[in-house]
């Protein structure tokens, strides 16, 4: 009887050992998946705003620089005319709060006069390279620039356009 009980106990031990080995061949765990939807990044031009280099005399040429704060200075033989109102351009950027974004402005920009023989002047845009949206998800983007004036530049009203692109980082 003792032999039978001992054999039954050994058989039970082997059986439970076999069961434990079988469950050791497979294991399952649960992972976590995350996703974040970021609101669209948009830029809009402020109604009535413009990058205005103001009025100036050309002389033998030079530059007119307007800062993002709207302050103009003349270089070379260019002279700003008193009473002129240079201004920086203005845009509003909106998107997901506290997100950083890059800023890129077009190159090869020109302003020109109309008519059959238009005169042109090249200008570059100064808009910074990156910024961060506020906690409210907005950013006021002011744009300045540098206008290159040729010697004896033709008198007249000049207009042109440029683009500003914003991209989330």
Locate the domains of the chain by residue range. 42-168
Q: What is the mean pLDDT of residues 118-133?
A: 96
Give the range among 16-25, 47-56, 79-88 with minimum mean pLDDT: 16-25
Q: What is the mean pLDDT of residues 3-16?
A: 49
Asked if residue 61 lies in contact with residue 46, where contact means CB atoms within 8 angstroms, the answer is no
Question: In the chain, what is the straight-line distance between the N-terminal and C-terminal CA atoms, in Å?
Answer: 80
Closest by Cα among 130, 136, 169, 165 to 42: 165
pLDDT in the model for residue 33? 97
* Calpha distance 63→45 (Å, rounded): 25
* Calpha distance 36→30 (Å, rounded): 20
**pLDDT score of 100 more than 70:** yes
Q: Which pair of tokens denotes residue 86? A: 């240079």
Q: What is the mean pLDDT of residues 133-139?
A: 98
pLDDT in the model for residue 23? 64
Mean pLDDT over the full length of the chain: 90
* Calpha distance 50→137 (Å, rounded): 24
* Calpha distance 147→112 (Å, rounded): 12
To 5 degrees, how large is the angle CA 136–CA 91–CA 47? 110
**pLDDT score of 10 more than 60:** no
**pLDDT score of 61 more than 90:** yes
Which CATH architecture group holds 42-168?
A: Sandwich (2.60)
């Amino acid at each position: 009887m003792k032999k039978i009980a001992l054999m039954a106990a050994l058989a039970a031990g082997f059986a439970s050992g076999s069961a434990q080995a079988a469950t050791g061949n497979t294991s399952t765990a649960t992972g976590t998946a995350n996703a974040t939807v970021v609101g669209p990044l948009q830029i809009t031009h402020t109604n009535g705003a413009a990058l205005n280099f103001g009025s100036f005399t050309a002389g033998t040429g030079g530059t007119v620089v307007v800062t993002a704060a709207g302050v103009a200075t003349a270089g070379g033989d260019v002279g700003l005319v008193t009473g002129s109102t240079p201004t920086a351009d203005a845009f509003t950027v909106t998107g997901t709060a506290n997100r950083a974004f890059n800023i890129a402005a077009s190159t090869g920009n020109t302003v020109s006069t109309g008519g059959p023989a238009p005169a042109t002047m090249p200008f570059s845009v100064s808009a910074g390279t990156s910024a961060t949206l506020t906690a409210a998800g907005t950013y006021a983007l002011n744009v300045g620039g540098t206008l290159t004036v040729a010697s004896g530049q033709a008198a007249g009203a000049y207009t042109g356009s440029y683009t500003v692109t914003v991209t989330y980082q």
